[in-house]
Amino acid sequence: MSNIISIGDKVDLRIIKRSHVENNIEKDYRTYKSKVVDVVNDNTIKLAMPIEGGNIVLLPLEGVFDIFFYTNNGLYQSKGKVIERLKENNLFVFIFEMTQPIKKNQRREFYRFNCIIDMKYTIITESESKMILPEVIEEARGEKIKWKEGFIVDISGGGLRFTTNDEFAKSSYIIINFNLMINHRMKQYSTVIKIISSEKILNRSGQYENRGKYISLRKDEVEEIVRYIFEEERKSRKNRKS
């Protein structure tokens, strides 16, 4: 496993939460971020305990998670459980035992990139989310959209994590605009976002960290974002080596 995973690699740990929505069971994935502290053996690794809003999240012993590794050679995944929690040199860590062979994940849209990107957003209704375009929503409202500002802090081909001054209800909708440098030119993206979670940020008054998934991006736009992420990651690795 050490030929695939390296100390310092970013990790996502995902657990499925199920909720009942209108008599249906809807899957909701809660994701915790970590990094590799040590590779113990072929099926056991030591990871940093996740931190959310400045607080350490003590993952439950015997808790079962899907695990995703962001390596220099791409995205890998497995499944396993927390078997021990420790504190070493003032760092809270845990031992994770994989119960399935590690394999490469070909779904590039899951690859995430930490960033700081300006964004503008506005809250919309579920019926407005089907209109998709801001100008169509403005025409239906009979007035201009009043945009607010936020920051994207984590982007992938499937969705993003972002901070705002507003707290959002789960499964509510917003529309956002943001710019990325694509093929040496700045390109604007506009998409409807469905909110997955919205939580207050500790020690930052009136600030919320939110997660959402794209609803209206075209397939070619998703591919552009994925290519952007891989290119930015490549630049970051090159800068770290130099």
Q: How does pLDDT run across 202-234, given as a tens digit for each residue?
A: 878 889 999 999 999 998 898 889 888 888 877
Fold of 110-241: Thrombin, subunit H (2.40.10)
Per-residue pLDDT in tens (0 to 9) along the chain, 242 residues: 668 888 998 898 988 654 444 444 344 567 888 999 999 998 999 999 998 877 889 999 998 999 988 887 778 889 999 999 999 988 999 999 999 999 887 665 667 788 999 999 999 999 999 998 999 999 999 999 999 999 999 998 889 999 999 999 999 999 999 999 988 899 999 999 999 999 998 878 889 999 999 999 998 898 889 888 888 877 776 676 55
For the segment 47-84, what is each residue's pLDDT rounded down to a tens digit? 999 988 778 899 999 989 999 888 877 788 899 999 99
Residues β-bridged to residue 86: 93
Task: Determine if residue 62 is left, alpha or beta; phi over 0 gives left, psi from -120 to 50 gives alpha, anything else beta.
Answer: left
In the chain, what are the domain boundaries?
10-105, 110-241
The answer to whether 171 and 124 have CB atoms below 8 angstroms apart is: no
Q: Assess if CATH 2.60.120.200 describes domain 10-105.
A: no
- pLDDT, position 16: 65
